[in-house]
Chain A
Amino acid sequence: DAGITQSPRYKITETGRQVTLMCHQTWSHSYMFWYRQDLGHGLRLIYYSAAADITDKGEVPDGYVVSRSKTENFPLTLESATRSQTSVYFCASRPREGQEEKLFFGSGTQLSVL
């Protein structure tokens, strides 16, 4: 099916482990984003990418690494997971500049760090 998909849907890991969350979109959208959702904070931007090989920090980038070697994939890596990174993570994409309202979200990855 076309669209934006995230995997895994649920993940439990331990403090200090490396974890990678996957995001794949089939629309060839230029922009891709990673958000985390926490109670009382809404959605906060972690990293975004305007195109392949172009990434930039968002509001809360510390402890996360991203890459975008291909337009359709935008993985998010927690290099050494901490309990404060327990959250629901959403990937999103949109076509290009000037179409900020055309933001499409994946279904999310619920991550628990024990």
Chain B
Amino acid sequence: EAQVTQNPRYLITVTGKKLTVTCSQNMNHEYMSWYRQDPGLGLRQIYYSMNVEVTDKGDVPEGYKVSRKEKRNFPLILESPSPNQTSLYFCASSRRTPGLAGVIPDTQYFGPGTRLTVL
């Protein structure tokens, strides 16, 4: 079954304690992305990756790190979490198809979400 998995699904931690949220997809997608969802703000992109070893900042990258050492995995790292990073996090993946005017998007497949609470 084609899917994006995230772990953990729920996490409560304390300020300053480093944590990693894992994301893995089994569809051989080039493109992966992390979002955070907050009430009234929709989803905001944190980081994205166009392929292995290629990552770039989204709209709200401060306080986060990512890495893309393998095509299927795209972990999100919070080196020193703070309460304002309490949120619902989604990982997503999609194929990318080059077109004449840039990438042609395919369906983004989202993971089930990770509810993070930083005390």
User: Do A and B share a complex?
Assistant: no
